[in-house]
Amino acid sequence: MKELKTLVTILFLLLPTILCASVSVNLTPVPKEMTVQEGQLLLPQEIKINTGNLTEEMNAEVQNFATVLQTTTGYTVIMGNDANALIQINKGTTHTQNPEGYYLQVSGQRVTVEASTATGLFYAFQSIKKMLPANVMAGKADATITEYALPLVTITDEPRFGYRGYMLDVSRHFFTVDEVKRMLDVMSYYKMNRFHWHLTDDQGWRIEIKKYPKLTEIGSIRDKNIIINENGQREVITGDYGPYFYTQEQLKEVVAYAKKLHIEIIPEVDMPGHFTAAMKAYPEYSCFPDKDPVIPHDGGVYNDILNVANEGAVQFAKDILDRVCAQQPLPGVSDPPAPDCHCRKRLVAGCQERFQQFLSAHDSRQEIVGL
């Protein structure tokens, strides 16, 4: 009996803590600063958004948010210049000067958002959508949800890391355009901003280069694939895996989709090593032009590499990189020269000499090569 009384006393003393703990907001990544108060702001069925001093790009971001809010809740959302609107959007740097940062306050009367760029607004809206029922972030209406409310919070947020990336290898295991878009959506939920798209490797060539059609006609197909089965074991599947690749139109579509989510695409196009699929298609540019390479289905280091002493091979590489850069302008495109590859380039007259010339002309082997 004495122990029961003690337990009741402890629970009574902990009750305020338990009640406070119930007022929690689960945002990932965790904001730089966030305070949470008890209570909530119940959204009315007509939501007004004030967009007084915004740039055209920021206004477009607000319009995207308003469209999602209206579609998912069924409420009426009106944008305009209204100082009494429920949601006040301001362009400014009062709380954060980081271009990806934002300030968000939800009180019992209104929602205030401040950012200096469209990207900052986008991340603020992502936080708002995450704090609402899950169907809002999913972009789907849900008839079972009858009210939408936000917790009372004050958030000042900016990223700790400028590069917040995710890498998807579609050379070894192909993903369709819709699947790639789904990955980009999920990245945006977590405010990630770099999509490293591994488009080529020994195991498959996945981008259309119209000047070199055999890259996809031949290089996008291998005769086996490896999966991990339901028992967690590696299983080799015999039969053509492919042709799997993205057309230039599809690449443009994905780049545009990522841009709307404030995600930059970094395409990885490997050369002169990791180039078996390309050398299968165009063996005349290989260090071993008389060899018929087999596109591998497994990992490893393969020796079918680009002959950089062959001027035709150099032009081949230039044409490929020109096309890739036209799809997604970048300060550089992977890969740096691979001086290892079992040193096979030493076996080809002129390769090692050209490689040394390159090293002499550049400060680091890590510089991106535009062959």
Same domain, 55 and 150: yes
For residue 134, give its domain range. Answer: 22-157
199 is a domain residue: yes
Same domain, 175 and 92: no
Band of pLDDT at residue 300, cut at 50, 70 and 90: confident
pLDDT tens digit sequence for 19-70: 444 568 999 999 999 999 999 999 999 999 999 889 999 999 999 999 999 9
Same domain, 141 and 230: no
Query: Mean pLDDT over residues 94-106, rounded?
Result: 96
Same domain, 44 and 174: no
Is the model's pLDDT at 370 over the cut of 50?
Answer: no
Same domain, 210 and 341: yes
**Are 328 and 255 within 8 A, CB to CB?**
yes
d(CA 74, CA 149): 14
Has this prediction a pTM greater than 0.75? Answer: yes
Same domain, 152 and 187: no
pLDDT, residue 325, reads 84
pLDDT, residue 369, reads 40
pLDDT, residue 353, reads 74
Is the model's pLDDT at 276 over the cut of 90?
Answer: yes
249 is a domain residue: yes
Band of pLDDT at residue 349, cut at 50, 70 and 90: low
CB burial class (10 A; 0-12, 13-18, 19+) of residue 155? buried
Two structure tokens written together for 285: 């540019």
The number of domains in the chain is: 2
Same domain, 324 and 185: yes
**Are 257 and 181 within 8 A, CB to CB?**
yes
**Are 200 and 171 within 8 A, CB to CB?**
yes
Top pLDDT among 348 and 113 is at 113
Band of pLDDT at residue 340, cut at 50, 70 and 90: very low
Same domain, 291 and 202: yes
11 is a domain residue: no
Same domain, 173 and 146: no
Is the model's pLDDT at 331 over the cut of 60?
Answer: no
6 is a domain residue: no
pLDDT, residue 288, reads 92
Last residue of a domain, one of 122, 157, 192: 157
pLDDT tens digit sequence for 306-322: 998 899 999 999 999 98
Same domain, 59 and 144: yes
Query: Mean pLDDT over residues 190-208, rounded?
Result: 97
| End-to-end C-alpha distance for the chain, whole angstroms | 83
Kindly report the average pLDDT of the chain as a whole number.
88
pLDDT tens digit sequence for 110-129: 999 999 999 999 999 999 99
pLDDT, residue 357, reads 74
pLDDT, residue 341, reads 42
Is the model's pLDDT at 248 over the cut of 60?
Answer: yes
Last residue of a domain, one of 157, 192, 221: 157
**Number of CB atoms found within 10 A of residue 124's CB:** 23
Q: Which of 320, 319, 321, 317 is nearest to 309 (CA)?
A: 317
Is the model's pLDDT at 160 over the cut of 50?
Answer: yes
Two structure tokens written together for 7: 């337990």
Last residue of a domain, one of 127, 157, 187: 157
* H-run or E-run covering 227: strand 222-228
319 is a domain residue: yes
Same domain, 146 and 187: no
Query: Mean pLDDT over residues 126-149, rounded?
Result: 97
Where residue 279 sits, what CATH number does that domain have?
Answer: 3.20.20.80
174 is a domain residue: yes
Top pLDDT among 286 and 371 is at 286
8 is a domain residue: no
Query: Mean pLDDT over residues 321-344, rounded?
Result: 57
4 is a domain residue: no
**Are 193 and 264 within 8 A, CB to CB?**
yes
Same domain, 146 and 177: no
Is the model's pLDDT at 104 over the cut of 70?
Answer: yes
Query: Mean pLDDT over residues 184-189, rounded?
Result: 98
pLDDT, residue 51, reads 94
